[in-house]
Structure 1
Amino acid sequence: MRTLNLGILAHVDAGKTSLTERLLHAAGIIDEVGSVDAGSTRTDTLDLERRRGITIKSAVVSFALGGTTVNLIDTPGHPDFIAEVERVLNLLDGAVLVVSAVEGVQAQTRVLYRALRRLGVPTLVFVNKIDRAGARSDALLRDLAAKLDPAMVPMDTVEGLGSPEAESKPRERDAAFDGDLLEALDDEDLLDAYLAGVDGSPNASGMSHVAHDAALGSALDTAFEARVAKGRAHPVHFGSAITGAGIESLVEGLRRFLPGSVGDPEGPLSGTVFKVERGSAGERIAYARLFAGAVAVRDRIHVGDCREAKVTGISVFEDGIDRPRPRAEAGRIAKLRGLGEVRIGDAIGRPPKLRTEHFLRPALETVVAPVDERDRPALHAALTRLAEQDPLIGLRHDETRRELSVSLYGEVQKEVIGATLAEEHGLAVDFRESTVICVERVTGTGAAAEFIAKDPNPFLGTAGLRVDPASGTGVDFRLGVELGSMPFAFFKAVEETVHETLREGLHGWQVEGVAVTMTHSGYWARQSSAHGGFDKSMSSTAGDFRNLVPLVLMAALRRAGTVVCEPLHRFRIELPAADLGGVLAALAKLRAVPEPPELGGGRCALEGTIPAGAVHGLGQRLPGLTSGEGVLESVFERHEPVTGPVPSRPRTDANPLDREAYLLAVMRRVTGK
């Protein structure tokens, strides 16, 4: 049986959770459509989600669509929870991008569409809220073409737009519809065939114009469906998730354009974990998409970095709920128990070939402190558990200052973390003011080496490292020595320690865009003492390299030099033209760089760049500057070197830039004294 793993994505408040409810109702899974405002939806199960009326965690619910099992994944719409969306994108066979007929294309709409396009995910657009006052159709289609993609083809017509009686009906096949398809396809052969029918020219086959039109229509449909399947063209449906208008047409679009996939249940097991939650007994439950093979209860499988685990329970999503099953096969989303310390992103069996898409790391961080100091150990445990569910929470523990910091996408996420700690863990906490997370980039080349049995190296290992600038945002570890010159475990220790050490550069920020090449290696082979036992004082271990590499790497990095870069966001403000002067003055104080404004009809659109740390302040000031009529959109664009004083962040580890203090800390760690 085919499976369609379908994502519902949208800017916050566009109505995607309401659409999920409407689709479940249309499939007969629920008898009554739940309400976001009333907190009665099927997918928003967290108390916090129900109270705030927003989706925080991705949820899966299933239903049958003809001969296809649809796993519907409702994702968060608020940009503070973009990490949840990122994890879902690699699972999707298709997507519905929801756009409000009133608000139109918004900042998060653009971010999500760009990701879907780059990944080639087949995507239908659902224009929601046609029953709302101020709803648009033709103007909105022009915005979709201008701001997202010209290959947008409306599949419906709307009657009573902007009224509670608004209805959506499938378009009839006519010249205008064929013209829209041709424009989206941009195919010269099809265009020539269409023009031959329009001007009455005879065609080579001698077929009648009726037959010609039918053949051309079939060819257009086939070409359009193929283009949609590649994520290069998009059917647009209109409707209302609240009234149910247009839902039947959307469901038909899902059947036609998103057929789903059939995995190979007989192949080797391959899947990926995209969500982890805790069961009633505190055990981890992994949500995994299976791309190939099958898994059964009591199977022993490889998880993550070749860890082996025994599956103790399986549930699959069917008919609106997850049902216990003895086995799950390729194509399905399964809940797996018994996988021990499983984490989000772990591979199940063979690592699958996933689409590549990574949203940027959070740009803000804050220190979390317990109101009652006695709760500090419990707070650390609770934040560790939250970090399991969201790796991008970036928990940092500064033992010297006894501080716990978490990463953030925005202030709403801070509120959610605080409420979660209070409700699920009984912990009252305070947050410090959010600060910007910078990065460090290498500016030159630097090298360093320390040799075994030569001062000042106290460790039984030789390591030489060279640091060079590199493209991208990662750390590229390379070998400039023979792989057989040391045991593989020692090379592995060096590589892992390089990545760990570069989490805090010369100024305390994570180093990115760097290539690290190992230029020297050496060790002492395993030796025994006079009594035949292993003699550590004469034998190298992986620990020697883990302790030595930070000293060598930071010496090389110091010689190469780094520059601290802050995150910049691209903003767009729509506001009354009369308020432009006041907004420009405020932007100047926030170090924003605006571009020439677009003026028209008493309104103004202003775009530019602004430091990420100033976005929240701008959002707070804008209503007062524009009598409540200003609308702000922002999205991360790039990192740029900071101007003025260089910000630094305290290190959380033994500081290899201070050799004496570092060696003292390592000695204490080794001896436990």
Structure 2
Amino acid sequence: MSSPTRSLNLGILAHVDAGKTSLTERLLHAAGVIDAPGSVDEGNTRTDSLALERRRGITIKSAVVSFPLGPPEDLVTVNLIDTPGHPDFIAEVERALGVLDGAVLVVSAVEGVQAQTRILLRTLRRLGIPTLVFVNKIDRGGAQYARTLDQITRRLAPAAPAMGRVEAIGTRGARALPHGPGDAAFRRRLTEVLAEQDDELLAAYVSDAAVPYERLLAALAAQTRECLVHPVFFGSAVTGTGLPQLMDGIRTLLPSATEGDGELSGNVFKVERGGAGEKIAYVRMFSGSLRVRDRVPVGRDGAAHEGKVTAVEVFHEGAGERRSSVRSGEIAKVWGLGEVRIGDWVGAARKDSADQHFAPPTLETLVVPGAGTDRGALHLALAQLAEQDPLIGLRQDEVRGEVHLSLYGEVQKEVIQTTLAEEFGLDVAFRETTTICVERPLGVGYGYEKDLLPFLGTVGLRVEPAPPGSGVSFGLEVELGSMPYAFFKAVEETVYETLGQGLLGWRVLDCKVTMTHCGYWPRQSHSHATFDKSMSSTAGDFRLVTPLVLMDALREAGTRAEEPVHHFRLDLPADTLGPVLPLLGRLRAVPRPPDIRGAACTLEGEIPAASLHQLGQLLPGLTRGEGVVESAFAGYRPAAGEPPARTRTDHNPLNRKEYLLTVTRLR
């Protein structure tokens, strides 16, 4: 079967419970892929395949499903990616964004625009992903047309023309009716929106000249693809009303995947394990073709390994179809790339690829094995979960045999606990969740070790602050030829590793480390030419002495603990500002002057990440349920009060005696 000439990789995104998965089911049904749409409540949807997803009625893992759209002469194969809506799984959404050609952002006609909705559209616009808005649940009690459209134009994007109207909204008989060329008010509104970016239309609008409807539709498609306009469609994923208009909008307004015949380039956005434990990579192809039996470079950041493709499966009308190759613009499941990780590039990386778009996880918890749980099996299982979700960070304490997990929230913790029990048969509990802080050096510090037995290596290091956001760098003030290169490399690698835990146990950010002194014992041998390791330096000597030197330098420089903070925006009734301000004070937030416009108030500022959840819980009670909080990671600021510390998971180079005893015993 020949491949279709056009494909579109489409993301469905929304705040939790807006109806993304139900919309996916309805689209598959309308396209003839499934006989009847599944139900989230009944747990029989196509994309929520995990048992936990079916039980909780939420999407946890991104899923891909395909359906055909349009007439045979202009057929588009849509690879639809259903993403999670809960903020705890924002990493899943992030990975999907990099492979999309377009998106549909779902808004509930009952709850309206919510905080997560605004964050998602802001990110989509920043990444240049053309986006349509679908207002779902028009058949539900409490659904509103004018209010929801007003929220979209005020809170999401001003250029968001409604493509239809609704009859009997808020009832089971609600119907979405499209505007057409004979609707003069719609044509004028559309001309007004499009004229903001089109001088010809502006001139016609000012002179009140008639504009051909086909000209308006062409301008709408062009501006939608440039992310200047976000057409709004109304409907119901449950009843199916409004779906034909949305599907026509997807086909005509969003861009197809760009086909490229250049060098091989594909991005891995998801990794799962097959029945035999083999890795299966989900790859979006940007250029070139990937064929079975091809040997291809796989990796990132300049570090690549070779993998051999053993099988390829593309998505076709709701099912997988084995093929001999996958071409540019398509998404496929690929077998054989044994060492593949999420974020890897197959072939060459795109020069315009974006880095992380969402906040790093700011919470951490200690994993407590249950009675009879094998720690080795637990470590292996957690490593596999982190492999599928690279923003789940593992921090292993080799001394105590403990594992610390970094994550986004309590729901994610519950999912990990259930997954370990159901998929790996491991019973675990978690300690209380804590906030992940960082450390920054305050000044310049020096460390130097000479003739420190049993280590045969001399090292001197200087630590100094670097500009915020610059990261950690390593440099030399000694001649590169003054000792073997492997010893320099050992020092550099150990510096980066050691800075994962500073004086207070937190990762050290933004500092420059310079090697100021070095010395080694050349290869020694006895009179009979027998090599004696005890008289000669090895890379291991430098790996073991460097933490002591680096911690001495950090002590002299001093460090400061900083906690993660979020930028927040509150939308609330102006008359509730009085009780909200004391709450912000108790939560250590730093608000800016409020922006009061009539009965509405907007308040922005910064708040510690540790207080954000509490703000979201308490705000509705102080604002009659009308207050909405939106937040985004904003970096770090000095922690207030007693500097927070974290238990070390290394051999504690801050305690020289303990460190020397431990590492000597391990040599």
Q: TM-score range by the shorter chain?
A: 0.7 to 0.9
Contact 2:53 2:59 in 1 (8 A): yes
Give 2:175's match in structure 1, choosing from 167, 171, 175.
167
2:76 aligned partner:
68
- Mapped partners of 1:162, 1:407: distance in 2: 42
Query: Out of 199, 203, 206, which is 1:193 matched to?
Result: 203
Which secondary structure state, in structure 2, belongs to the residue aligned with residue 153 of structure 1?
A: coil
Range with bigger deviation, 620-629 or 490-499: 620-629
In structure 2, distance between residues paired with 1:619 and 1:323: 45
Decide whether the 8 Å contact of 1:461 with 1:544 is kept in 2. Answer: no
Moved more, 7-16 or 465-474: 465-474
Q: Which moved more, 1:603-612 or 1:242-251?
A: 603-612
Q: What is the Cα deviation at residue 475 of structure 1? A: 3.3
Q: Determine the C-alpha separation between the residues in 2 that align with 1:619 and 1:196.
A: 46
Task: Name the structure 1 match of 2:497.
Answer: 500
Aligned CA distance change for structure 1 residues 273 and 489 (closer, same or farther; 3 Å) = farther
> SS of the counterpart of 1:163?
coil
1:28 equivalenced with 2:32 (yes/no)? yes
Secondary structure of 1:427's counterpart equals coil
Which letter maps to 2:153?
A
Q: Which residue does the alignment assign to 1:272?
A: 267
Residues 187 and 594 of structure 1: is their aligned pair in 2 closer, same or farther, counting only changes over 3 Å? closer
Structure-2 change in CA distance of 1:486 and 1:182 (3 Å): farther
Moved more, 637-646 or 36-45: 637-646
Q: CA deviation at 1:270?
A: 1.7
Q: Does 1:96 align with 2:104?
A: yes
Contact 2:562 2:636 in 1 (8 A): yes
User: How far did residue 90 of structure 1 move?
Assistant: 0.9
Q: Which amino acid aligns with 1:506?
A: L
CA 1:479 to 1:269, structure 2 compared with 1: closer, same or farther past 3 Å? farther
Q: Structure 1 pair 372/149, CA: closer, same or farther in 2 (3 Å)? A: same
The answer (yes or no) to whether the contact 1:446–1:468 under 8 Å persists in 2 is no
Change (3 A) 1:595 1:187: closer
Hey, what's the Cα distance between the residues in 1 that align with 2:420 and 2:656?
39
Do the aligned partners of residues 655 and 219 (structure 1) sit closer, same or farther apart at CA in structure 2, a change above 3 Å counting?
farther
CA contact (8 A) 1:126 1:238 kept: yes
**Cα offset for 1:142?**
2.5
Summarize deviations over 1:473-532 as a string: whole Å, max 9, x none.
743456777888887766655554343222222211122233445666777888998888
Letter in 2 for 1:337: W
1:154 counterpart residue number: 162
Equivalence for 2:647: 650
Mapped partners of 2:562, 2:528: distance in 1: 57
CA contact (8 A) 1:150 1:184 kept: no
1:461/1:336 CA distance change after superposition, 3 Å: farther
User: Do the aligned partners of residues 30 and 295 (structure 1) sit closer, same or farther apart at CA in structure 2, a change above 3 Å counting?
Assistant: same
Residues 573, 666 of structure 1: CA spacing in aligned structure 2 closer, same or farther, 3 A cutoff? same
| Identical positions, percent | 58
How far, CA to CA, are the matches of 2:101 and 2:528 in structure 1?
64
Cα distance in structure 1, aligned partners of 2:119 and 2:476: 37
* Contact residue 398 and residue 653 of structure 1 kept, 8 A: yes
**Correspondence list, 1:19-418, <5 A:** 19-65=23-69, 66-173=74-181, 174=184, 176-187=186-197, 189-190=199-200, 192-195=202-205, 197-198=207-208, 213-214=211-212, 220-265=216-261, 267-304=262-299, 305-353=303-351, 354-372=353-371, 374-418=373-417
Kindly tell me: are residues 149 and 326 of structure 1, through their superposed partners in 2, closer, same or farther at Cα, counting changes over 3 Å? same
Counterpart amino acid of residue 412 in structure 1 = V
Aligned to 1:395, the other structure's residue is in SS state strand
Amino acid corresponding to residue 67 of structure 1 in structure 2: L
Deviation at 1:19, TM superposition (A): 1.0
Q: State the TM-score, normalizing by the size of structure 1.
A: 0.87
Q: Deviations over 1:571-626 (max 9, x none)?
A: 56677889877666555444345567788999987765443223444555567777
Q: Residues 525 and 294 (structure 1 numbering): CA distance in 2 closer, same or farther, change over 3 Å? A: farther
Q: Could you tell me how far apart the structure 2 residues matched to 1:656 and 1:445 are?
A: 19
CA distance in 1, matches of 2:542, 2:135: 58
Structure-2 separation of matches of 1:160 and 1:510: 57
Q: Secondary structure at the match of 1:96?
A: strand
* AA partner of residue 392 (structure 1): L
What is the one-letter code of the residue matched to 1:307? H
Distance 1:90 1:537, change over 3 A: farther
Q: Contact 1:470 / 1:515 at 8 angstroms: preserved in 2?
A: no
C-alpha separation in 2, matches of 1:234 and 1:482:
59
8 Å contact from structure 1 (residues 185, 223) kept in 2: no
Q: CA deviation at 1:467?
A: 3.3
Cα 1:376–1:590 change in 2 (3 A) is same
Letter in 2 for 1:58: S
Counterpart CA distance in 2 for 1:275 and 1:381 is: 19
C-alpha displacement at 1:636, in angstroms?
Answer: 3.5
Q: Give 2:406's aligned amino acid.
A: S
> Structure 2 vs 1, CA of residues 596 and 565 (structure 1 numbering), >3 Å: closer, same or farther?
same
| Deviation at residue 225 of structure 1 after TM alignment | 2.7
Alignment match, 1:431 = 430
Residue aligned with 1:256, SS: helix
**Matched residues, number:** 653
Cα deviation for residue 48 of structure 1 reads 0.1
Contact 2:420-2:426 at 8 Å conserved across structures: yes
Task: Pick closer, same or farther for the CA change 1:167–1:543 going to 2, 3 Å.
Answer: farther
| Deviation larger for 21-30 or 229-238 | 229-238
- Does the CA contact (< 8 Å) of 2:456 and 2:536 recur in 1? no
Offset of 1:325 from its aligned partner?
A: 2.0
Q: Secondary structure at the match of 1:392?
A: coil
Identify if the C-alpha distance between structure 1 residues 618 and 493 changes in structure 2 by more than 3 Å, giving closer, same or farther. same
Q: Which amino acid aligns with 1:286?
A: A
Report the secondary structure of 1:652's partner residue: coil
Q: CA distance change for structure 1 residues 30 and 188 in 2, over 3 Å: closer, same or farther?
A: closer
Aligned mates of 1:320, 1:109 — CA distance in 2: 27
Q: Residue in 2 aligned with 1:510?
A: 507
Inter-partner Cα distance in structure 2 for 1:533 and 1:151: 80
Q: Distance in 2 between matches of 1:516 and 1:232?
A: 46
Measure the CA separation in 2 of the matches of 1:434 and 1:77. Answer: 22
Secondary structure (helix, strand or coil) at the match of 1:416 reads helix
Q: How far 1:233 sits from its partner (Å)?
A: 2.2
Q: Which amino acid is the alignment partner of residue 225 of structure 1?
A: A
Task: Select between 225-234 and 170-179 the one with higher mean Cα deviation.
Answer: 170-179
Q: How far is 1:331 from its partner?
A: 1.8
C-alpha distance in 1 between matches for 2:93 and 2:249? 23
Residue aligned with 1:336, SS: strand
Give, as a single letter, the amino acid of the residue that structure 1 aligns with 2:315.
Answer: F
Instruction: Give the whole-Å Cα distance in 2 for the aligned partners of 1:252 and 1:645.
Output: 59
State how far apart, in whole Å, the 2-side matches of 1:482 and 1:254 are: 61
Deviates more, 1:549-558 or 1:102-111: 549-558
Contact 2:179 2:186 in 1 (8 A): no
Alpha-carbon distance in 2 for matches of 1:535, 1:446: 36
User: Do the aligned partners of 1:461 and 1:540 also contact (CA within 8 Å) in 2?
Assistant: no
Contact 1:288–1:333 (8 Å) recurs in 2: yes
CA distance in 2, matches of 1:294, 1:538: 56
1:4 partner amino acid: L
TM-score (norm 2): 0.87
From 10, 33, 41, the equivalent of 2:14 is 10
The residue type paired with residue 649 of structure 1 is R
Matched, 1:468 2:483: no
- The C-alpha deviation readout for 1:53-104, integer Å capped at 9, x for no partner, is 0000010111122432211111110000011111111111111111111212
Gaps of 5+ in 1: 199-208
